[in-house]
């Protein structure tokens, strides 16, 4: 993916609630398409490292990420895995005047490995298209009184 994927939604939950949902990486396999496993392997108060497993059909890819937490404002996820030229996910959470939260998402990823490129490009594109909606849907499931804008 040469151009970063960007999405924005307004969710009728607090910034803290949606921040906590995005920060809870080990629960991702319960609701995030393509995510098969996410295990925190190292943690400190403002960040953690995760071993993640993604799957698209029979293709499975494992990689590590580093997540930096700026509660309740933003989350930044990066990877120095060999397969990526670039891998960065940015989340920002901005309260709205009516008590909702504007969620902004950016996925900037470029696959390095040529043999992984066809799989990786499809995987990254699918992640971009489904990720924000999956989190918004999950927020609504956990807080049934929430709504989407």
Give the tens place of pLDDT for each residue, 6-50: 889 999 888 999 999 999 999 999 998 889 999 999 999 999 999
Per-residue pLDDT tens for 84-109?
A: 888 999 999 999 999 899 999 999 98
User: Which residues pair with residue 105 across a beta bridge?
Assistant: 7, 91
Q: Where are the domains of the chain?
A: 5-142
Q: Please tell me which residue, 140 or 103, carries the higher pLDDT value.
A: 103
CA distance 102 to 90: 14
Strands 35-44 and 47-56: antiparallel
Domain 5-142, CATH class in plain words:
alpha beta
Q: Please tell me which residue, 116 or 125, carries the higher pLDDT value.
A: 125
- Give the tokens for residue 29: 């396999």
At residue 105, the pLDDT reads 93
CA distance 81 to 94: 30
Q: What mean pLDDT comes out for the span 71-78?
A: 97
- pTM, rounded to two decimals: 0.86
> What ranges in 43-116 are assigned the alpha helix state H?
none
């Amino acid at each position: 993916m040469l151009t970063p994927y960007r999405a924005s939604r307004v969710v009728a939950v607090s910034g803290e609630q949606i921040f906590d949902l995005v920060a809870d990486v080990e629960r991702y396999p319960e609701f995030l398409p393509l995510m098969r496993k996410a295990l925190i392997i190292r943690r400190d108060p403002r960040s953690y490292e995760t071993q993640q497993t993604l799957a698209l059909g029979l293709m499975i890819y494992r990689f590590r990420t580093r997540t930096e937490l700026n509660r309740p404002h933003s989350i930044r996820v990066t990877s120095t895995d060999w397969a990526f030229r670039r891998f960065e996910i940015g989340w920002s959470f901005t309260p709205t005047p009516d008590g909702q939260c504007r969620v902004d998402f950016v996925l900037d990823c470029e696959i390095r490995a040529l043999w992984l490129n066809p799989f990786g490009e499809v995987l990254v594109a699918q992640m971009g298209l489904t990720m924000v909606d999956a989190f918004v849907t999950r927020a609504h499931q956990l807080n049934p009184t929430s709504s989407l804008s």
